[in-house]
Structure 1
Amino acid sequence: MNKKSLNIFTVLILMGIMTTLMNFLNSVLASGVGLYYSGLIVHIVGLILSFILFIVLENKEHKPWASTFKKNPLLFSGGVIGAASVLLVSYCISNIGMFAATVTMIAGQFFISFLIDSKGWFGFDKVKITLSKKIAVVSICFGIILIIM
């Protein structure tokens, strides 16, 4: 594994840690102020931070978002999915616990990632799914079943 790949995997592990911490904190917030109000708070804080980072760090020329929406409105569905996931994860964690919710979410990520890679969806190049990858996916799914039982 080269240094660039190692750095990428390190960042991804940190992203996994950050995602789990975010889900935990959002769940605690939801239990304190309510599920929908917590979703609103999380997204307002994210909007403010994104706006500040945009103003401070972005200096390129931008296409108006309206023309991007007209070309491909599907690109904006990530925001809908993000908002729904904040609410659903907060709800699930408070009902089944942090570990079971996180592991089950990861199973969903494996499933859709496997399909995207193997089918070449969304314009990605098809990735050959080897026997070892198939065995790994089955093992992960079996492990998830053991965890949530």
Structure 2
Amino acid sequence: MVGILFALLGGAFITLQGVANSRISQDIGTWQAAAITQFTGFVLASLLLLIVRDGRWRKVGQVKPLYLTGGALAAIIISSNITAIHHIGVTLTIAIVLIAQLGITFMIDSRGWFGVAKQKMKLAQFIGIGMMIAGVVIMKM
């Protein structure tokens, strides 16, 4: 239940962030909005780290260097979402983002990338993503 709650919160905040970034970018530009978003996220995460103080950050040397670049992906995510929202609106952007996320997760799970346990993809999962794609096509009409 906790996982579902956090997934719902994450999904809601991704949408809210996309809308806020889109509004910011209209005034100052896409990359400027991405920089502000990254900076405010860094500030909040740093403050929370100071509050938590569990010492786990000291293990950063054990993390593969490739994975440490994950934050850089956020700049691409933010600018892509901003640009998409400007062109196709919030609803269609989020729907397509979800389909893209599911498509990538299918590849990660089925191939065992990034050290995750391989999962066999079942017909029901492919039907589900197909229905989502059909839904986006219908929404676009």
Please confirm whether the aligned pair reaches a TM-score higher than 0.5, indicating the same fold.
Answer: yes
Q: Is the radius of gyration larger for structure 1 or structure 2?
A: 1
Q: How does 1:1-149 map to 2 (within 5 A)?
A: 6-60=1-55, 62-63=57-58, 65=60, 67-68=61-62, 72-149=64-141
Unaligned runs of 5+ in 1: 1-5
Query: What do the CA deviations read for 1:123-148 (whole angstroms, capped 9, x no partner)?
Result: 11111222211211211122222223
| CA distance in structure 2 between the aligned counterparts of 1:63 and 1:7, rounded to whole angstroms | 27
Is the Cα contact below 8 Å between 1:24 and 1:98 reproduced in 2? yes
The two structures have a TM-score, normalised by structure 2, of 0.89
Unaligned runs of 5+ in 2: none
Is the Cα contact below 8 Å between 1:120 and 1:127 reproduced in 2? yes
The two structures have a TM-score, normalised by structure 1, of 0.85
Aligned-residue CA RMSD (Å): 1.8
Identity of aligned residues (%): 25
Instruction: Give the letter for the 1:103 counterpart.
Output: A
Cα distance change on mapping 1:136 and 1:43 into 2, 3 Å? same
Q: How many residues align?
A: 141
